[in-house]
Structure formats: C-alpha cells, structure tokens
Chains A and B, each alone.
Chain A
Amino acid sequence: MEGVQTAFSLKRRAPTALYVHVPFCNGKCDYCAFYSEGCDWDDELQDMYLDSVLAEMTRHGKSCETLDSVFVGGGTPTVLHDLAFQRLLQGIRERFDLSPQCEWTVECNPESLTEAKIDMMGEIGVTRASLGIQSFNQSCRKMLGRRGTLDGLEHKIRVLRHAGISHVNLDLIWNVPTQTLQMLEQDLNRALDFEPDHISAYALTVEEGTRLAERQIEADDDTFVEAWDLIEATLATRGLHRYEISNFATARGRCRHNDSIWHGAAYLGLGPAATSFDGVDRWTQPANLRQWIGGQDPEIDRIPPLDRAAEILAFGLRTVEGWNLVEFRNLTEVDPIQLRGQQLQKLQKAGLVELDKTTCKPTPQGLLFNDSIMIELI
C-alpha cells in the first residue's frame, strides 16, 4: 500500500464548471453563514467588486475548458444594481467559452428579482433560476429570520419561463423549530404548485456565528426521519425524485453544475469566499470583500493524492446514483476497492453502501447516515 501511496498521483484538470460568488444581500437571514455583506455596501462598492471579478475572469478565462455549467450564486446576485448585473452576466459570456448545452444558473431572491433583470438573464443566455423560498409559512419565516416577501412570485416565475429560462429551482428549509409535519407538507405542496423541475429541501443547520446560534435555537430531530420520508413521498407524486441528500428533480431537471461537483469535476470559483478545485488541490478565496479586492491569497487545502481520491469517492456518495466504478477510475486512476475496500465492505455490512461489480452507491439508509460514511472513508 505504501508503494501505491508514493507512486500515486492525481492529474490536474482544467475547470469545466464556473462558480461566481456575489457577496451582497439585503440584510442577513438568521440562519445564514454564507459570506455576504448584509448592508455595508453601496453601488460604488458593487462596481469595485465587478471590476475585480471581471479582471479575475480575464485572467482565468483562457485556462478553462469549454464550460458545461455556470453558477452565479451568493449572497444575492439579484441585489446587484442593473448595470452591475448586466456587466457580470455579459462578462461571463464574453470571457468564457460556454458549450452550446451549457447550464447557467443564477440564484435569485424573489423580492429583488425584477422583470428588467429577468430580461437580461434571458437575453444573455441564463438557463436556470434558483429561487430562495425557504418557507411559505409566516411563522417559519419568522423563526428563520428570513427577509423579504414572496409577493408576485407566481407572476415572476411566469416571466422567467417566458424569457426562456425553463429550469426553475425552489429552495426550501425544513426541520425548523415549531414546524410540524403538516406545515412541512403544506410548504411542499405550495412549492409544487409552481411546477418547478427542481426543489432543494435543506434540513435546517444551526451554523456557528449565525443569529440563529446566538438565539440559542436548536434543531429538534424528533421527527427528522418522518419529515425526510414525507418530503421524498410528496415530491415524488409530481415527478421530482431525490438525486442527492437534499435535492429533488425531474429526469431532466437535475442541476448539472452541482451533480458534476459531487462527482469530482474541476471547477473555478471567482469572488470572495469562492472555492476552486483542480482535481488535486482545493483553494478558497478570503471571505472578506476588501481583502479579496486587495488581492489576498486564497487558503489552500492540500492533502495527499490518495486521501483526495478517497474524498472524491466519499463526496460522490452524497448522490443517490453514487459512483460508476469505471467513471471513478477514469477520473482518479485508482480503483475504489483498492483505495478503500475494507471500509466499503464494513459500510456494506452496516447497510449503508451498496457495492457491486459496476457501481458503488449509498443505500436509502446510507443517505441518512452520510456523515458515518464520510468518517469511514476520509
């Protein structure tokens, strides 16, 4: 094994996916630990951000392959003022080579998603909008400290589709304290009424440093498994099936961007707090706008190649399909069994992983115990 360790190396790959982080929001939601400036910004700062991010694009554009996916997230991209929004999308279009079928997602907060922005998105070629709903229930929204309203949501979704943005995702948060199974079911049905081809349903995580943590709110896991099953069953009635721990889609509605990242794709991340991966190393830009503009170095996560390969293996097991063994070998040049055979067998015996000649994937129980799989594999 030691021989393998020293001899083994992973190949660096050119990115096929692009992520751009927009670090502005209209106030911070109580649960959110993503990096963004909640109120300490103005148009001028947005312009400075754009100057820097466009410069980055120019610098890195050439080193990318033809992109299969672009994801503009945040923060809240839609709080950029119109010109900045336009420059951002246009900049991506101009500086990168997007494949004809390239999936292009923009994260949108309903209240700042104007028709003007929708038009720009449509014109420049955005294919997918991800809308942060979190909950339709007022008391849940209050518990979450979720800002903004959902007024005019139906109309906005119609306009999105009209503008050619055919893929729509709705983000929901569940396992919110005080939320009953019935309330959850109502949220799910409300979301389904908009006929999205994708729903992300995240169990609430109380993150360190958030207002939720400050309020000493704790997620109550009593009905976790029941809710987990309820979500799966309810969404399936309208053709949305779980393909990752928290993600559900129609057959053609899966988010290719995230799916590729779970399966070890190389990606370029631009903007503060954005992470990049080249198949060997992972690095993250400073989670501070001014430091990032100032050119501070990213933090590099470097581990031995075999450990990285094991991590790629484990990461893929977040998805329902898991790994095709050939696909994994093509990517890393190592066989999963050779890499973590003993651990995989243990997980198989524990009923968390299914292993056969062609695939390695989590069992339904394995999805619920993904952390246990991770501990074993990485």
Chain B
Amino acid sequence: MNGLDKIRNFCIVAHVDHGKSTLADRFLLHTKTIEERVFRDQVLDAMDLEQERGITIKSHPVRMQYDADNGETYQFNLIDTPGHVDFSYEVSRSLAACEGAILLVDAAQGVQAQTMANVNLAINQGLEIIPVINKVDLPAANVPLCLEQFEEILAIPAEEVLKVSAKTGDGVKELLEAVIHRVPPPKPESKILQALVFDSIYDVYRGVVTYARVVNGTIKAGEQIRLFSTELDTEVKEVGFFSPTMKPVEQLNAGEVGYVITAIKTPSDINVGDTITHAQNPCKEALPGFQKISPMVFSGVYPIDTADYEALKANIAKLRLNDSAFVAQPESSVALGAGFRCGFLGLLHMDVVQERLSREYNMDLILTYPSVIYHVYLKNGKMQEIDNPLYMPDPSTIDHIEEPMIKAQIISPSTYMGNIMNLVLEKRGICLKTENVDKQHVLITARMPLHEIVIDFYDKLKTCTRGYGSMDYEPDGYQTAPTVKLEILVNGEPVDAFASICHADRAVARARMICERLKDAIPPQMFKVAIQGAIGGRIIAREDVRQLRKNVLAKCYGGDISRKRKLLDKQREGKKRMKEVGNVNIPQEAFVAVLRSNEE
C-alpha cells in the first residue's frame, strides 16, 4: 500500500495518433507492469477493432508501481484515452479521475484540433498539464515549431515542454520523474466514502464492472454501498485495479483508481458519473458528475438478409452493455423489413458500431441516410424533435424548422486557408475567427450545420488541406434553415428507406443522385418504370428504369428445359433477396448503392 503522497493519478491526452497508447506501452514496460514476453504494441487497446484500426475507442485505466530516482515507490494510475472527436466524452470522464494530464503533441504534426480541445478540457477540470512533444525520433520532427505553437496558441512556456520518443523510449524516464514532481498527489477531504463512477463495462464472466476513482474514504468487498443518484443499495463483491488485467485487492483507498464489482447485474442500473457512497453513513452530496451525453446522429440499421434480424437484435443489446452512448430502438421499414433506429455520437462512432455489429455474426447491414435532430416548429405553436424522415410532419402544418449547429475549430497550414473558407461557405457555414497558431498555421473557428459535418465535411477538409487539416467541434445551438423531407418514388410508390431530411437547396442534387444510382442498380424492367424524387408531392427529379425489350432463350429442346429450370430456380432464389415496391423488384444492391455514404 502506498501512502497518499506516493499516489499519482494522470491520463494521457492528445490528438488522434499522436502516440498516447504507444507511450502507455513504454510506461508499462518500464515499470515492468507487463512482461516483454506477453507484450504487443498498443497493448491497452484490447478490442480487436482497436488493434486493427490502430485507434483507441475506450479509455483504459491501468495501475503501475514506479521505482523513482529518490528511492521511493509510487503508485501510478494512468488512463489512456481516445483521441478522436467522437469519443471526447471518454476523455472528459477520464480527466475527472485524475489530478494531472500528459498532453502529447506529435513532433511532425504539431498542435492539432483535438490538442486544443483536450487542453481546454484539462484546464477546465483544474488539472496539472505536462506538455510533451512526442515522436522526436521522426526525420520530419520539427521541435522548434512545436514549441512556438505551445507558446502561441496554448500559452504554455517552452521551458516546461518535455521531449520524448514513445517509440525509442528516449525521454520516457524523465517524463515518469516529471509525473512525480508536477502532478499533485490526491487530497481527500473527508473520511466518508465518495467514489466517482467514471465508466462501466459489461464482462461476460464478471457482469457489470464499474470503474471508480475513490475521492474520499475507502471501499472494500462485503460492504453495503449506495449509488447516490438512484439511491440503489447493493453489496460490493470485489474491488481491485487493472494491471493491465483485473487484480483484486482487499480495499481501495482514498485517492486510488480501480474497479468495483457489485451484485448489480444490469448495466443500465449504474449511471456513469454517479457517486458511490456507503449505505450506512452516506455522504451528503454527490461529486460533480458528467453532462449526459446524447447521440447526435441517427440512422436506420437493417440486416440485408431479413433472417439476420434476431442476430442483429442480440448483437445490439450486447454492444449497448459497453457503449452507453449508443442508443437503439426497434423500427420497421416497408422496404427493408425489421431493423433498428440507432443514435450515434458521430460518424466514426457509427462506423465503429456498424463494424462491430456486422463482425460478430458476419452479417451485412444497410444503414439509411444519417439524420440529425431537427426542431420542427408547427403552426399550432408546438415543437417536435425529429430525427427520422418517416415522422416528419406534413409540410402544410410546419411553420419552420431549426437544425443543430456546431462550432468547429480547424487547424491547418495557412496555405490552405482559402480552401477551408470556401469549404465552410459551401457547407453553409460562417467563419467566426481566424488566429495564428504559429507563423505557418492558422486556427479557424467556424459555425456550421451539424448535418454537413455528418455528411462529408471531414473528408472534404482532409482533401482540401492535403490531409494536414484537423477539426474539433462542439454543439452550438440551433438555427432556422429551409429543411425538407425528400422522398424517392419507384413506379409512383414512395420507398421509405430512401427518404431523407435535407436542406432545401441540396434536395435537387441529392434527388438526382439517388435517381441516377437507382437507375443503374435496378435491373431492366419490361415496363416503363419511373424513379422520382419528390418534396411534398412535387417532383424534382426523374429517371426511367432501363427497359427490357426481350427475355427469351433462342434454343430450347428436349434436355434444355431441365437446364433452364435450374437456371430459373437460381434466379428465383435471388429474387427472394429483392424487395418489391410498386410492382418492381429492387435488388439489395440497389439499396446499398443508394445508401452508400459518399455523395459523388
């Protein structure tokens, strides 16, 4: 057991790919928390998907014993965090469990949008920041420029900045020492138990595992505890820490970070951000919790093969155990059958969820056009929140519609400033402010509709800055916008799966694109079949399905008919995978083709 002054709680924050997980690796090896023998790169990224994509999706706490130069042994509770904007809520929770944060900046990339965002989060939580330039081994490393950026845009003096290479291990020892000297030890203020729940996961074998930072008091197995917000009492089954696997201990003390397993079986019974206290002698007040995170992007998720519905349902339920930000409700579509309306934090989140869902049961999914939450003001004075085109009220009853806005921070080499300004305009945004990051980089603050971000802004930004631009954003209220429900009709019948909510000025282009894609994807038909885009019954785009002029086998004698029948059987099998709309069989590929995300 370490005394309070021998405990340091800190996390590593940075922009995507600046080397957080790799630095954590170095720490784990240096402190012999993990043996060389069982080590692999980014060892804390335990999920398959994290390993494959080389990104961190969930925060990972880990405890290390560090033998310092002064001869003392310290308990380090480190939390590795994700860098991507979609997962920034993970970062803010992790910060709440720490007194300090290592801020990494890639020496070749410099300060990026999420660097700024994370610094702001850390400062707001009153954390001690250890600024670090990583990847100094890279040939493209530009340490002086990074130092200039630290001073200019982050207001961090150059003298405070450490230089390391998480790859070679250079400077890592110094960094570990700096943690002792710069990060303050925890300072409990009372003996009454207060532990902050900063995450929880569902383990198939152990049930609900709660990640907690003990702020005051102690907690041990066998005790009756209370979840402050719900006043739910339960028994502690086990407490422990990650190192990096679960290691049970007798008790967790004030200032320590670890896990708590209780008798609670249902993940939703534990709210992240809640305070754990004792059932006897409870605390009077809760610790400051977290802002409730809510999904910003919605899409219908359907199995391509309707027979996969049950598997999808089971998978969604399982995924939700470990991802409270992901919401799902059953929904059904005439065209696609039974599925789910799902909510995500952003596009990467949506992508990750889709992949995890399809991976486990090896099923193909169709996702409908993503929507944000619109505020639809009716003529009768009422307001409805709409995130699904199916529920869009009749246009004649609508007074006006407001769409969610975001405030974006974009960092890029100054040369691309013109491109970015044009892009922001094209995406219906306005530039609020431009600042210098250093002599060569600018920080642009812009206000834009969230919907544009969800569609393709990020890809376009990467393209127009040759990959150098980075962006972070946060919600920024609502704004009136001419918004319409675009319907697609096949042979006069609307196909619900193709309906979408979009900006009025974009509707014609989008309608044309869908009609063209459908025209290519629907096989030739015997009769003239129109594909139309319509807003409130007004046709704004039209294509005709290619017409089949014949369908005949020239030669068919005795034995040919057996062959022919087998061929037709196969065709019929294929037809089962088609959806009939307005007497036209639409193959699954057509849905995939139309709903694939890129707009070109």
Binding site for B on A (CB under 8 A): 19, 202-205, 221, 224-225, 228, 245-246, 258, 261, 267, 269, 273-277, 282, 284, 301, 303, 311, 315, 318, 350, 367-372, 374-375, 378
- Shortest C-beta distance, A343 to chain B (Å), equals 13
Given A367-B552, A370-B551, A371-B552: A275 and B558 interface contact (C-beta under 8 Å): yes
**Contact in complex: B553, A372 (CB < 8 Å):** no
Query: A-B pairs with the 6 shortest C-beta distances?
Result: A275-B559, A275-B558, A203-B554, A371-B551, A301-B562, A368-B550
Cross-chain contact B549 with A350 (CB below 8 angstroms):
no
Bound complex: CA A374 to CA B550 (Å) = 13
5 CB contacts below 8 A, A to B, read: A204-B554, A221-B549, A261-B558, A301-B562, A315-B561
Instruction: Give the shortest distance, in Å, between A265 (CB) and chain B (any CB).
Output: 10
Complex Cα gap A372–B523 (Å)? 14
Smallest CB separation, A283 vs chain B (Å): 9
Looking at the assembled complex, report how far the CB atom of A26 sits from the nearest CB atom of chain B, in whole angstroms.
Answer: 21
Residues of B within 8 A of A372 (CB): 526, 551
Instruction: Confirm or deny: B571 has a beta carbon within 8 angstroms of a beta carbon on chain A.
Output: yes
Given A221-B549, A225-B549, are A19 and B558 also a contact pair (CB < 8 Å)?
A: yes
Interface core residue of A202, A277, A371 (most chain B CB under 10 Å): A371
Q: Return the chain B residue nearest A205 by Cβ.
A: B554
Give the contacting residue for B550; candidates A221, A258, A276, A375; CB below 8 A.
A221
For the complex, is B439 an interface residue (Cβ under 8 Å from A)?
Answer: no
Given contacts A275-B558, A315-B556, A318-B556, 14 further A-B contacts (CB under 8 A): A202-B554, A202-B555, A221-B549, A221-B550, A245-B554, A269-B559, A275-B559, A277-B558, A282-B559, A301-B565, A303-B565, A311-B561, A371-B551, A374-B564
Residues of B within 8 A of A269 (CB): 558-559
- The 8 A CB mask of B560-585 against A (1 = contact, 0 = none) is 01101100100110000000000000
Q: Which A residues are in CB contact (< 8 Å) with B391?
A: none
What is the bound-complex CA distance between A121 and B598, given in angstroms?
69
B205 located at the interface, meaning its Cβ lies under 8 Å from any Cβ of chain A in the complex: no
Whether B571 contacts A375 by the Cβ 8 Å rule is yes
A-contacting residues, B535-558, CB 8 Å: 548-558
Interface Cβ pair total, 8 Å cutoff: 77
For chain B residues 298-349, which have a beta carbon within 8 Å of chain A? none
Name the CB-closest residue of A to B552. A370
CB B438 to nearest CB in A, in angstroms, measures: 59
Is B551 a contact partner of A284 (Cβ separation < 8 A)?
no
- List, in ascending order, chain B residues with CB within 8 A of A245's CB: 552-554, 556
A334 to B568, CA, bound (A): 23
Q: Is there an interface contact between A224 and B557, defined as CB atoms closer than 8 Å?
A: no
Question: Is A273 a contact of B554 with CB atoms below 8 Å?
Answer: no
- Rounded to whole Å, the gap between the CB of B420 and the closest CB of chain A is 48
* Residues in chain B near residue A19, CB distance under 8 A: 558
Return B332 CB to nearest CB of chain A, in Å.
28
- Cα distance A205–B563 in the bound complex, in angstroms: 14
Q: Which residues of the partner chain A approach B564 to less than 8 Å between Cβ atoms? A: 374
Contact A246 B554 (CB under 8 A): yes
Main secondary structure of the interface of B (DSSP, over half): loop
B575: nearest residue on chain A (CB-CB)? A375
Q: How far is the CB of A171 from chain B (nearest CB, A)?
A: 10
Residues of B within 8 A of A258 (CB): 557
A205 adjacent to B557 (CB under 8 Å): no
Q: Which residue of B lies closest to A245 (CB)?
A: B552
Using Cβ atoms and an 8 Å threshold, which residues of chain A touch B565? 301, 303, 311, 378
- In the complex, which residues of chain B have a beta carbon less than 8 angstroms from the beta carbon of A275? 558-559, 562
Provide the bound-state CA to CA distance between A318 and B564, in Å. 13
> From residue A44, how far is it (CB to closest CB) to chain B in Å?
28
Closest B residue to A300 using CB positions? B562
Q: Say yes or no: A228-B550 contact (C-beta < 8 A), given A350-B526, A375-B568, A378-B565.
A: yes
Known: A277-B558, A282-B559, A311-B565. A375 touches B572 (CB 8 A): yes
- Residues of A close to B559: CB separation below 8 A: 269, 273-275, 282, 284
Contact partners of A368 in chain B: CB under 8 A: 549-552
List A contacts of B562 (CB < 8 A).
275, 282, 284, 301
Identity of the chain A residue whose Cβ is nearest the Cβ of B559 in the assembled complex: A275
Determine the distance from Cα of A203 to Cα of B554 in the docked complex, in whole angstroms: 6
Interface pair A369/B561, CB less than 8 Å apart: no
CB of B558 within 8 A of CB of A369, answer: no
Which chain B residues border A274 with CB–CB below 8 Å?
558-559
Indicate if the CB atoms of B555 and A267 lie closer than 8 Å. Answer: no
Bound Cα distance A282, B562 (Å): 8
Chain A, residue nearest B558 (CB): A275
CA distance A284 to B556 in the complex (A): 15
Neighbouring B residues of A225 by C-beta, 8 Å: 549-550
Q: How far is the CB of B573 from chain A (nearest CB, A)?
A: 12
Closest to B572 in A: A375
- Residues on A with C-beta less than 8 A from B572 are 375
Distance between Cα atoms of A205 and B549 in the complex (Å): 16
Cα–Cα, bound, A246→B553 (Å): 9
> In whole angstroms, what is the CA distance A162 to B526 when docked?
49
Rounded to whole Å, the gap between the CB of A270 and the closest CB of chain B is 12
Which residues of chain B are near A318, meaning CB under 8 Å? 556
Nearest-CB distance from B587 to chain A (Å)? 15
User: Which residues of A sit under 8 angstroms from B552, Cβ to Cβ?
Assistant: 203, 245, 367-371
Given contacts A275-B558, A282-B562, A374-B568, contact A205 B526 (CB under 8 A): no
Residues A205 and B550 in contact, CB atoms below 8 Å apart: no
Contact A205 to B555, CB < 8 A, known contacts A221-B550, A368-B549: yes
List, in ascending order, chain B residues with CB within 8 A of A369's CB. 526, 548, 550-552
By beta carbon, the residue of chain A nearest B565 is A378
A261 CA / B568 CA spacing, docked (Å): 20
* With A375-B572, A378-B565, A378-B568: A267-B558 Cβ-Cβ less than 8 Å: yes
* Complex Cα spacing A225 to B547, Å: 13
Q: Output the least CB separation between A35 and chain B (Å).
A: 10
Q: When the two chains form their complex, are residues A224 and B549 in contact, meaning their CB atoms are under 8 A apart?
A: yes
Min CB gap B562→A, angstroms: 4
Task: Tell me the bound Cα distance from A273 to B559 in angstroms.
Answer: 9
User: Which residues on the A side are within 8 Å of B549 (C-beta)?
Assistant: 221, 224-225, 368
CA A350 to CA B559, docked complex, whole Å: 29
Q: Which residue of A lies closest to B527 (CB)?
A: A350
Q: Of all chain B residues, which has the CB nearest A377?
A: B568
Note all chain B residues with C-beta closer than 8 A to A261.
Answer: 557-558
B207 to A: closest C-beta gap in Å: 51
Closest to B555 in A: A202
B551 — which chain A residues lie within 8 A by C-beta? 368-372
**In angstroms, how far is the closest chain B Cβ from the Cβ of A267?**
7
Q: Could you tell me if A246 and B555 are in contact, using CB atoms closer than 8 angstroms?
A: yes
Contacts of B557 in A (CB 8 A): 258, 261
Residues of B within 8 Å of A282, CB to CB, are 558-559, 561-562
- B549's nearest neighbour on chain A, judged by CB, is A225
**Distance (whole angstroms) from the CB of B173 to the closest CB of chain A:** 66
> Which one of A202, A274, A370 has the highest number of Cβ atoms from chain B below 10 Å of its Cβ?
A370
Contacts of A202 in B (CB 8 A): 554-555
Bound together, the chains give a CA A378 to CA B572 distance in angstroms of 10
The answer for the CA separation of A371 and B523 in the assembled complex, in Å, is 15
Complex: A87 Cα to B525 Cα, angstroms: 52
In the complex, which residues of chain B have a beta carbon less than 8 angstroms from the beta carbon of A371? 551-553, 568
Name the B residues within 8 Å of A315 (CB-CB). 556, 561
Give CA–CA (A267, B559) in the complex, Å. 11
Q: For B526, what are the chain A residues with a Cβ–Cβ distance below 8 Å? A: 350, 369, 372
| CB-CB under 8 A for A224 and B556, given A375-B568, A378-B565 | no
- Report the minimum CB–CB distance from A190 to chain B (whole Å): 20
Collect the chain B residues with CB atoms within 8 Å of residue A246's CB.
Answer: 554-555
